[in-house]
Amino acid sequence: MDTVFAARQDARAQDGGIAEAMPYLPAASSPFVPDGVPAEALTWAEAVAPGGYTHRVVARGTRIRLDDPTGEACAHLFLLRADAPHERLNVADTVKIPWQAYLGAGHPLLSGDGRVLATIAVDTSTRHDAFCGTSSDAWNTAKYGDARAESPTPSGQSLLTLAAAKHGLTWRDLGPGISLFQGVQVEADGAVSWRGSAGAGAAVELVAELPLIVLIADVPHPLDPRAQYVVGPLRVHAWRSTPTGPGDPAFTSSPERTRAYLNTIDDVEARG
């Protein structure tokens, strides 16, 4: 490879390669197009590596489907408003306002500004966590001996920091996030126990109620009791759809949620 010509030949010969984890472009070329979704409607299709991360800016009304094909995925999710990133996921409001700590279908993911960032529209897992956040470098170093993003046992913190940086954000912009596909249960005395996953094939669909920066790290849940770093691949597909409106059951499912959607629509309308 002692000439540019040879190096170029070699690089170009790799075109068309297939990896287990990769984005599919155009998205319609995904081998895993969700049932009932026209392939040409897809705006994002990707298989995220175990121990990997992804990030995307999506329009209001985008429907984002996350699939856990092996039962070992754990999607550590953080959301910021794309057109005003100081508005971001607020986990305390997300559990306090709906009076419910366990996330499931219909649950609004709230910002700290009284609006809905996204709604969980579909959930066949019901094993999620809004308490423990993602793994810190200190946690993974203590548990696995290493936490660096390039190591075999990256922390969620290191990956979400990278994902945030790709949008000009620092970890000051990150707050507590949620984990999908690996659940916890809180006992009467406050003890948090790991429930693990619902098994292979679970899916979650989110509706973006505002334009969003979506940050996802696919790393083991911090309370996963296994000594080995066990995490499976995560599939992401997104397509154009409609935000939650007054005709949707989620809109009227509780007075708190109705006001949250009203606040969201009011703000979107004002911005034009």
Partner 1 sequence: MMTTDSVLDWSSPLADGEIVRDDRVAPRASWSAVVPAGHVLTIVDVGGNQSADCLIFDAADPAERYSVPDTITWQGNVYVRTGTVLRSNLGSPLMTVVGNEIDRQDTIGGACSKESNTLRYGHHTAFHHACRENFLLEGAKHGLGARDLVSNLNWFMNVPVEADGSLGIVDGMSAPGKRVALRAEREVLVVVSNCPQMNNPCNAFDCTPLRMIVTAPSARTVEAAQTAEAVEAVEATA
CA distances from residue 214 to 25, 145, 191, 192, 251 in whole angstroms, order as listed: 19, 29, 30, 27, 23
Task: Determine if residue 50 is left, alpha or beta; phi over 0 gives left, psi from -120 to 50 gives alpha, anything else beta.
Answer: beta
Q: Residue 183 CB, nearest distance to partner 1 (Å)?
A: 10
Number of residues that bind partner 1 (CB under 8 A): 46
Near partner 1 by CB under 8 A, which window of 18-26, 29-37, 126-134, 204-212?
126-134
Residue 65 vs 81, nearer CB to partner 1: 81
Furthest-apart CA atoms within the chain: distance in Å: 69
CA distances from residue 46 to 49, 217, 263 in whole angstroms, order as listed: 9, 13, 32
CA angle centred on 79, ends 77 and 85, rounded to 5°: 150
Q: Does 240 bind partner 1 (CB under 8 A)?
A: no
Q: Residue 75 CB, nearest distance to partner 1 (Å)?
A: 15
> Rule CB under 8 A: which of 159-198 touch partner 1?
170-177, 186, 188-192
Strand order across the 128-129 sheet: 53-58, 212-218, 75-81, 178-180, 128-129
Q: Does 256 bind partner 1 (CB under 8 A)?
A: yes
**What is the Cα–Cα distance from 108 to 267, expressed in whole angstroms?**
17
Residue 64 DSSP SS3: strand
Residue 8 vs 226, nearer CB to partner 1: 226
Near partner 1 by CB under 8 A, which window of 24-32, 83-91, 197-205, 208-216?
83-91
Residue 124 vs 136, nearer CB to partner 1: 136
| Residue ranges in contact with partner 1 by CB under 8 A | 86, 90-93, 95-97, 99-102, 110, 112-115, 131-134, 136-139, 157, 170-177, 186, 188-192, 222-223, 256, 259-260, 263
